[in-house]
Amino acid sequence: MLKALRHPTPRARGYRWPAEWERHAGTWLAWPHDPLTWPGCLAEAEEAFAELAAAIGLGETVHLLVGTAAREARARAALARAGARRVRFHRVSTVDSWVRDYGPIVVVAGRGARRRRLALDFRFNAWGGKYPALQRDTGVPRRLEAIHGLPALRVPFVLEGGSIDGNGRGTLLTTRQCLLNANRNPGLLAEEVEWHLREALGVRQVLWLGEGIRGDDTDGHVDDITRFVGPRRLVTAVQEDPRDPDHAPLRENHRRLRAMADADGRPFEVLALPMPRPVHSAHDGRRLPASYANFYVSNRSVAVPVFGQPGDGRALRVLKRCFPSRIVVPIRCERLVEGMGALHCVTQQIPA
């Protein structure tokens, strides 16, 4: 496996994965359409998508994937109600909307007129083979690469975009629960996984957290628990109720972060981000992966999932402190998270 990545690797060619707050050329979204993903609440999911598109459109183009004319018509109506602008439609069919996980991850090299971009097409196995029908979305990156004229590299390694977060300066964060799970890249040791991440994404250091939150069917994606908000600043989810099953694993992650340092050996500033009270499915009662950490940073705004709870305001204040030059936009996500993801899960940035 270690020799399977084409040489010279992206890292050897000078590529790196930019931080999410670095300048975007646009953002990919895939319009929601599956009633099995959003049982009884597809219309509410569409409204959340439209509000998200409006927030992103304050500072960049939204590239919206719609597979049919009927789907495009529904999207246009919802976007108009939300006042969304700067939306371009692409007739690209998708099985589902989790473009963060099956879409290409774009790395960059050089500066100014010499800046180059490369679309990395990692293997997508629908979160460890849980949803075989959704594995058909593994073909979407090639369509997007062609639309944007991006050179591409197929990477023989299973990886979802929501399982990693980076500061753009050589440090990457992930969880052992996800990337060391036997349902992703069986047989690989931690150091072998780190090799793939370093060589593909141009990072120098991989930091490991433990477990994610309950209700998360992705096996502990880091974008539900801990996010970089600056080169040396992180926010991490904290469950204050000691009776909640998320309390102990999130406390352990917080402890680990306080002992960590970046790729240059400098400690992090770690800010606590409260967890919302548990959100349960209106369809079947299961616990849903509701988290304020699943926010998305675009050129002019930060779209933040909120749940109609007292903790919403506290989370928004933390993130306003982290992004003082951006507009923090709360978006109600009680029904969007019925699909087992929120705002970060349905976006994928296109670096400038």
Q: What is the pLDDT of residue 6?
A: 60
Contact 30, 221 (CB under 8 A): no
Tokens standing for residue 281: 């499915």
pLDDT value for 111: 87
Cα–Cα dist 63/53, whole Å: 9
- Secondary-structure class of domain 24-351 per CATH: alpha beta
pLDDT above 90 coverage of the chain, percent: 97
345 catalytic? Reply is: yes
Residues 6+ apart with CB under 8 A from 28: 63, 65, 99, 103, 144, 347, 348, 349, 350
Q: What residues does each domain of the chain span?
A: 24-351
Alpha-carbon gap, residue 136 to 185, rounded angstroms: 19
What phi and psi values does residue 92 have, to the nearest 5 degrees? Answer: -120, 120
Q: What percent of the chain has pLDDT over 70?
A: 98
The answer to whether the CB of 109 falls within 8 A of the CB of 15 is: yes
Euclidean distance between CA atoms 336 and 43, whole angstroms: 10
Among 1-5, 50-54, 114-118, the range scoring the smallest mean pLDDT is 1-5
Q: Using one digit for the tens of pLDDT, what is the confidence trace for 66-90?
A: 999 999 999 999 999 999 999 999 9
Residue from 41, 322, 333, 345 carrying the catalytic annotation: 345
What pLDDT is recorded for position 112? 84
pLDDT at 304: 99
pLDDT in tens, 307-352: 999 999 999 999 999 999 999 999 999 999 999 999 999 999 999 9
CB atoms within 10 A of CB 234: 25
What is the crossing angle of helices 69-82 and 42-56, to 10°? Answer: 60
- Per-residue pLDDT averaged across 227-255, rounded? 98
Q: What is the mean pLDDT of residues 57-63?
A: 98
Report residue 4's pLDDT band, with 50, 70 and 90 as the boundaries: low
Distance in angstroms (rounded) separating the CA atoms of residues 126 and 135: 5
Beta strand 233-238 with 226-230: parallel, antiparallel or unpaired? antiparallel
Residue length, the chain?
352
Model confidence at 5, in pLDDT bands (50, 70, 90)?
Answer: low
Report pLDDT digits (tens) over 136-179.
999 999 999 999 999 999 999 999 999 999 999 999 999 999 99
Map tokens 């293997």 to a residue.
123
pLDDT given for residue 1 in this prediction: 46
**Given a cut of 60, is residue 109 above it in pLDDT?**
yes
